[in-house]
Amino acid sequence: MPASSAPPVPALAAQADRAALSAPVFISDLHLSAAQPATRAAFFRFVQEVAPRFRELVILGDLFEYWAGDDDDDPLGHEVAAELRALTTRGTAVFLMHGNRDLLLGRDFCDAAGATLLADPTVATLGAGAHAQTVLLAHGDAWCTRDIEYMRFRAQARHPGFQAQFLAQPLAARKAFIGQARAASEAGKAAKAMDIMDVTPTEVEAALRTAGVTRVIHGHTHRPDLHHLDLDGVPAQRWVLPDWDLDAPTPRGGYLAVRDGHWQVQPLAA
């Protein structure tokens, strides 16, 4: 390609805002990168040994530490896509949602992985018959409204025009920008109170009302827990998924399994 030619712009994938899941397992915030070999290995074990026990694998954002575009030449992206594609051939469907770190995952990656991209948020029906439940799925960062600085960045980064302009830049320039943005983000976190970076409870409650559901599953905050809510006099639940870091001095990670009406968070096997 001539040096003066614009680089190809990776295509963004279509997003579904409804999903029907029969026996799903949920994960989020793996932040996969070459710098985290133990986490990467744990993910591959999970896909090969745990995920096939379920009908669907649902990844609610931040599968990767960053994603510069589907034309990225990092081998990790190709390896992850191949593992997910192999999982689908074994009968487990793969659903993927953008996080704040990998919001440029596009059509090429989803096609390679055999994954269906979910909108953020998505209303999902879990199970069937007497066990059917309707829930809201989200990454979670849209509800961190007390972090004004982050919300401004989020609005810019998710604007279609900004994304198209960014993806039109050479890959090296995109990676350099992402590296600078990640460094600035980590420095900014150190100066913020922890509750500012958590979800705003009233925002979650508003989202539940809009969706007409009483359960939500999300990640992003790295604060795994089950929160019981009072939603206009009706009991409600907010399930926060565990983040993964098997390279940390105290390794962590886990998943939420939903089958036959039973919900259970499981830690990763050692």
User: What percentage of the chain reaches a pLDDT higher than 90?
Assistant: 83
**Domain span including residue 34:** 16-267
CA 71/CA 80 separation, integer angstroms: 14
Is the pTM here over 0.85, yes or no? yes
pLDDT of residue 77: 97
The domain that contains 50 carries what CATH number? 3.60.21.10
Among the residue ranges 133-142, 170-179, 194-203, the one predicted with the least confidence is 194-203
The identity of residue 251, as a single letter, is: P
Which of these, 24, 92, 70, lies nearest to 171 by C-alpha position? 70
Q: How far apart are CA 60 and CA 224, in angstroms?
A: 13
Residue 10 placed within a domain? no
* 74: in domain: yes
Contact 19, 125 (CB under 8 A): yes
pLDDT digits (tens, 9 = 90+) for 212-269: 999 999 999 999 999 999 999 999 999 999 999 999 999 999 999 999 889 999 999 8
Residue 9 within a domain: no
Tens digits of residue pLDDT in 112-128: 999 999 999 999 999 88
- Which residues, in sequence order, are CB contacts of 39 under 8 Å at separation 6+? 30, 31, 32, 244, 245, 246, 247, 253
Q: 56 lies in a domain?
A: yes
Inside any domain, residue 227: yes
Give the other-Cβ count within 10 Å of 13's Cβ.
Answer: 19
Strands (E), the chain: 16-21, 24-27, 56-60, 93-97, 115-126, 133-137, 215-218, 225-231, 234-240, 254-259, 262-267
Q: Across the strands, what pairs with 18?
A: 123
pLDDT of residue 7: 54
**Residue 158 covered by a domain:** yes
Q: Torsion angle, CA of 10/65/49/221, rounded to 10 degrees? A: -120
pLDDT in tens, 13-63: 788 899 999 999 999 999 999 999 999 999 999 999 999 999 999 999 999
User: Which residues are paired to 256 by β-bridges?
Assistant: 26, 265
How many structural domains compose the chain? Answer: 1
* Cα–Cα distance measured from residue 151 to residue 45, given in angstroms and rounded to the nearest whole number: 35
Work out the average pLDDT over 208-215.
97
The answer to whether position 72 is within a domain reads yes
Sign of the CA dihedral running 172, 173, 178, 181 = positive
| Nearest CA among 97, 80, 69, 98 for reference residue 11 | 69
Q: How many CA within 13 A on the CB side of residue 74?
A: 20
In a domain, 131, yes or no: yes
Residue 1's SS3 state is coil
DSSP assignment, residue 225? E
